Structure 1
Amino acid sequence: MNLTDPTEILATLVRCPSVTPEEGGALDALDTMLGELGFRRDRVTFQEAETPDVDNLYARLGEDGPHLMFAGHTDVVPPGPAEDWTHGPFSGEIAEGRLYGRGAVDMKGGIACFIAALARLLSENDKLPGSVSLLITGDEEGPAINGTVKLLEHAAASGERWDAALVGEPTNPNELGEMIKVGRRGSLSARLIVEGTQGHVAYPHLADNPLRALISFADALTEPPLDTGNDRFPPSNLELTSIDTGNTATNVIPASTEMRFNVRFNDLWSAESLEGELRARLEVASMALKYRSGQPPMRYQLSFQERPSPSFLTRDDRLVATLSGAVAAVTGQTPTLSTTGGTSDARFIKDYCPVVEFGLVGQTMHKVDEHVEIDDLETLTLIYKAFIENWFAATQRAG
């Protein structure tokens, strides 16, 4: 295989049906490729009760000097019915200048480009002026329990330390060069159960309708807004995602109802402070329900997910400037520094070293006929190559 060609690498990876948590041959293929480039590799499977076992790969080239990590995942979301695809979801077919397949964008393409960039650098130099490692998981699209978190702990316990990290998630909305992720909003999910008394709708005085209270509780959680954002983050946002009573009858007041919601929050909040704010809003609302005058407050239970994702912002100017400079040099664009979008494994990496994210255009990720432009693969490879070279040079100058 020509490891300087990102298209050939990506086609090989896409043909591996690595739907979470299945390895599908993707890590085996990467293991072989990185071995050819001289990396020492560590394959490790992590386990936890009531979660699927997950295979992971950590590989390092070099033993000293500045240490740059590239992080990514080979697992992909299910493709849905294969007949819905113009080209098979695991075919890796190329048509009209595009490579098709699940994971082409999210995010086997980023991995392919980074490996190709390294291969080109190694073909020009005897060795790198430092160390490069790849931290690749098979659990990013799943529970994210037996993947990056544990792989970082495992590597750190073995003595690994990193100076900076690049995550190859698709970050560009429309064209390559638009956007670098320099942080992420936090994510907090919650479940609210409101308890009432079941009864006949014709005799409401004999019942206690929890849905009435739920409306007021929902208003209290969403208004006023949690904040107005700041210069690096948009406003925090709470979205209701589900309301369910399990009631199939039209003449029965339900005994209880359940609402689920998620908050994407900026760095004005921690998970703990946000939980406190939401509990306070519900407590005030429970005491102020107009139709319950003279009655005790409405009973409710609020619970939060066990592993909320924190917000973070990378403030390493050298890392951000080096990546921005590489993007501008190759594409002619000055990328926007953004914290928008969902969560990524960068939220775990930031506890070990500064981290930024830059990858392909994400328009087709998770969609039928997911694909990447072949030209974009070459462009991203050139950006990664320039970034690696310039980051080592800037780090050595600073040191």
Structure 2
Amino acid sequence: MTRLPTDPAANLSALIRCVSVTPAEGGALTALQAMLEPMGFSVERPVFRQEGTPDVENMLAVRGTRGPHLAFNGHTDVVPPGDEGDWRHPPFSAAVEDGEMFGRGAVDMKGGIACFVAALARLVEKGALEEGRVSLLITGDEEGVAINGTVKLLAHAAERGHRFDACLVGEPTNPDALGDIIKIGRRGSLSGLVTITGAQGHVAYPHRARNPMRVLPAVMEALQGVPLDEGTADFQPSNLEWTSVDTGNRAANVIAARVSAAFNVRFNDVWTGETLRAEIERRLAASVAQADGFTVGVEWKEPVADAFLTAEGPLTRALAGAVEEETGRRPELSTSGGTSDARFVKDFCPVVEFGLVGRTMHMANERVALSDLESLTRVYETFIARWFAANA
């Protein structure tokens, strides 16, 4: 009899050893497929493409043909490890020291996938997963541009007739201890590039040029000076942050003809992507009126994600109950933090997020306590059983 992948540490070790720096598959989906097929999952690995972006391999794994349908969403791609000299152990070695496993992706988010697979395996061994359907939607594009990943994988699944009743995203949601936070929503994300155009000239003869850098502070103030909102009962205030400024000019004696400044807005449910774009364009138009001789334009970047909030129901109750039962902690239901691929899932079914402690994600020496892997596996196992019982 084939041994099922019931050990989350062994699952994670196999995944970490795959060098799947975004958007490379690196063997991670192959390793995951080998874990899932002995449990009766049928596996597809579609590759999605879009001009100007790298091809991305994804996975849709499905078990069961009828009954309530629970999905799990995650990603096997990881951010680059940075300078390997900053690591105590090689970043793709899955070394264990003092009860912790080191490796890029340990918590973000190969660890969550490893635990969910182990939870499924334990339920299969018990014969407790015979009714209902379970799907895993795994991408290699979450840490990248998020164009050829989950958003297209969901459409791919829908085209094949799959309809999901609920989804759990295994991102690392806990700031300090397992059981701190369940994410029930996220703020939206909107990115843009403002370009101010003047006239190039010699720095010794500024009267013959129009320096766009002189106008930039006023344009920035127009967008950022007045708060977008004060927040809501469920979300913190929206915030616009400037992320880069560039003239493309490398000469010390030249006034550049144009300057571009990139920004990102994390916004709450006061706004939609459409209404927020209109507000920013209105503020830019007002700033142009005070910038005689200059033009100011904005280029919007994709993708745009609206804010969302998952209402209390069987999904949130099953997860919160499982967390409290297995950790002894009553989790906070939160909308804090950045974005995740839950922003795409929410268009198909209710979605919540719960995973490991994220203190070391994206850092050198990213690591996870082996005890947390076991605890999260038990949470997932209890959650799956509770959710199917509530939806029988």
Write the mapping of 1:38-187 to structure 2, written as runs, cut at 5 A. 38-125=40-127, 127-187=129-189
Structure 1 counterpart of 2:227, one-letter code: P
Asked if the contact 1:2–1:8 (Cα under 8 Å) also holds between the matched residues in 2, the reply is no
> Are 1:316 and 1:354, in contact at CA under 8 Å, matched by a contact in 2?
no
Matches within 5 A, 1:278-357: 278-288=280-290, 296=292, 298-357=294-353
1:395 aligns with 2:386: no
Aligned residue number for residue 275 of structure 1: 277
Instruction: Map Cα deviations across residues 380-399 of structure 1 (whole Å, 9 max, x no partner).
Output: 01111111111111122xxx
Question: How far, CA to CA, are the matches of 2:370 and 2:164 in structure 1?
Answer: 32
Cα deviation for residue 250 of structure 1 reads 5.0
| Correspondence for 1:292 | none
CA–CA separation in structure 1 for the residues paired with 2:287 and 2:53:
37
Q: Which moved more, 1:9-18 or 1:312-321?
A: 312-321
Letter in 2 for 1:231: A
* Corresponding residue of 2:365: 369
Aligned amino acid, residue 138 of structure 1: G
Q: CA deviation at 1:127?
A: 3.5
5+ residue gaps, structure 2: none
Query: Does the residue aligned with 2:305 lie in a helix, a strand or coil?
Result: coil
1:126 to 1:230, Cα distance in 2 relative to 1, 3 A? closer
Contact 1:182 1:337 in 2 (8 A): yes
Q: TM-score, normalization: structure 2?
A: 0.95
Larger displacement relative to structure 2 (38-47 or 265-274)? 38-47
2:39 alignment partner AA: L
- 2:353 is matched by which residue type in structure 1? E
TM-score, normalization by structure 1: 0.94
Evaluate the alpha carbon distance shift between residue 260 and residue 59 of structure 1 in structure 2; reply closer, same or farther with a 3 A threshold.
Answer: same
Give the deviation of 1:245 after TM superposition.
Answer: 2.2
Match in the other structure for 1:37: 39
Q: How many aligned residue pairs are there? A: 390
Checking the alignment, whether the CA contact within 8 Å between 2:4 and 2:38 is kept in structure 1 is no
Whether the aligned pair in 2 keeps the contact of 1:72 and 1:136 (CA below 8 Å) is yes
Counterparts in 2 of 1:280 and 1:23: CA distance versus 1, 3 Å: same
Which of 196, 199, 202 pairs up with 1:197?
A: 199
1:306 positional shift: 3.2
Mapped to 2, the partners of 1:43 and 1:122 lie a distance apart of 23
Q: Report the CA distance shift for 1:188/1:127 in structure 2 as closer, same or farther (over 3 A).
A: closer
Partner of residue 377, structure 2: 381
CA distance in 1, matches of 2:356, 2:130: 25
Cα deviations by residue, 1:90-117 (Å, 9 ceiling, x for unpaired): 1111110001111111111001111111
Q: 1:174 to 1:126 in 2, by over 3 A?
A: closer
* Secondary structure at 2:357 match in 1: coil
Shift of 1:281: 0.7
**1:305 alignment partner, SS class:** strand
Q: Which residue of 2 aligns with 1:293?
A: none
Residues 310-369 of structure 1, C-alpha deviations (whole Å, 9 max, x = no match): 221111422112111111111121111111222111111111100000000111111111
> C-alpha separation between the residues in 1 aligned to 2:65 and 2:302?
37
